[in-house]
Structure 1
């Protein structure tokens, strides 16, 4: 197996660590293998879109989700480091409103599988970071929603270094008790 998969405290959310082959020339690893992903992470899914973002230190992107056409996301960092966070928005889940966070970086090469039904976001802890993610559905701006990144009812413990830089839509995110959920 070319990946090690670890379950998190949120059902369905998984940390994926690839087997890295390195020597004096550099390194090689499979960043995605459909057969292994289906067998060890989430069977029966198809990725339809790849996204790439670059952000500077202190940028917080999220907490995004689509209320219709929910996206599963396979996320990773190829340059720099982020603190990546998911929040369970599945009303019938025993972990509804709970969050999980971890550092993803170019150095640790970890990936995170975020199933549909979760809000997702990240905070850049390095000077800059390039973030890649595959999605299981297309982006529909009319269905995008944002959970307020610092909702005290959720209580995400962001490793902030000052006031984060936010997009207007992220600063205006809704509270868990008021937003549409799954």
Structure 2
């Protein structure tokens, strides 16, 4: 997982920043070819989405928060990884100019920290309902400290089971 700082080039109009460059990713050993772009919009702060992942059709993600802010959580589920079952938490917002790269094989979720928050994701695999899996947000294996009380969560996300390795 990488937290990428955007290089802003500013002038009297504002700024310009590149949000993705396949050559830069290749130079860092990252194979990322986006095939789909997704967006979520959450009305209320405290909304929780996740923790989602796919099996067989694992997807890498490039996550950006162009409006509002999120507490973003990634869990490494790659059994051969040095960081297997480790958690990474980051606050990403419209003001930080950061993008989060999440490799394939990781669970991902976030909680909105402001009303009317939008999140954009580029992904490397098509969504496959048959391969969709999830981890319950309060799974004691991971003991995630969400920063605020959960205001809204889908029934599907609430019904995920504890993680079984």
Moved more, 16-25 or 64-73: 16-25
- Give the match's secondary structure for 1:171: helix
Query: Who is 1:4 aligned against?
Result: none
Rounded Cα–Cα distance in structure 2 between residues aligned with 1:58 and 1:45: 31
2:157 to 150, 153, 170: 170
Query: Who is 2:63 aligned against?
Result: 75
Rounded Cα–Cα distance in structure 2 between residues aligned with 1:81 and 1:41: 29
Count how many residue pairs are aligned between Structure 1 and Structure 2: 164
Rounded Cα–Cα distance in structure 1 between residues aligned with 2:151 and 2:83: 27
- Give the match's secondary structure for 2:4: strand
Query: Who is 2:104 aligned against?
Result: 116
CA deviations 1:137-167 (Å, max 9, x no partner) are 110111101111111111112111x233111
2:12 to 20, 24, 30: 24
Unmatched 5+ stretches in structure 2: none
Q: Is the 8 A contact 2:48 2:150 kept in 1?
A: no
Higher RCO (Cα < 8 Å, 6 or more apart): 2
CA deviations 1:83-135 (Å, max 9, x no partner) are 11100112233322221010111110111110011000110001221101111
Q: Is the 8 A contact 2:76 2:107 kept in 1?
A: yes
Q: Is the 8 A contact 1:14 1:41 kept in 2?
A: no
TM score, norm. by length of structure 1: 0.85
Root-mean-square deviation (CA, aligned residues, Å) is: 1.4
Query: Who is 2:39 aligned against?
Result: 52
Point out 4+ residue stretches in structure 1 off by more than 6 angstroms.
none
CA deviations 1:23-63 (Å, max 9, x no partner) are 33211101111111221361x33111111111121110000
2:21 to 27, 33, 36: 33
Offset, 1:67? 1.1
- Give the match's secondary structure for 1:93: coil
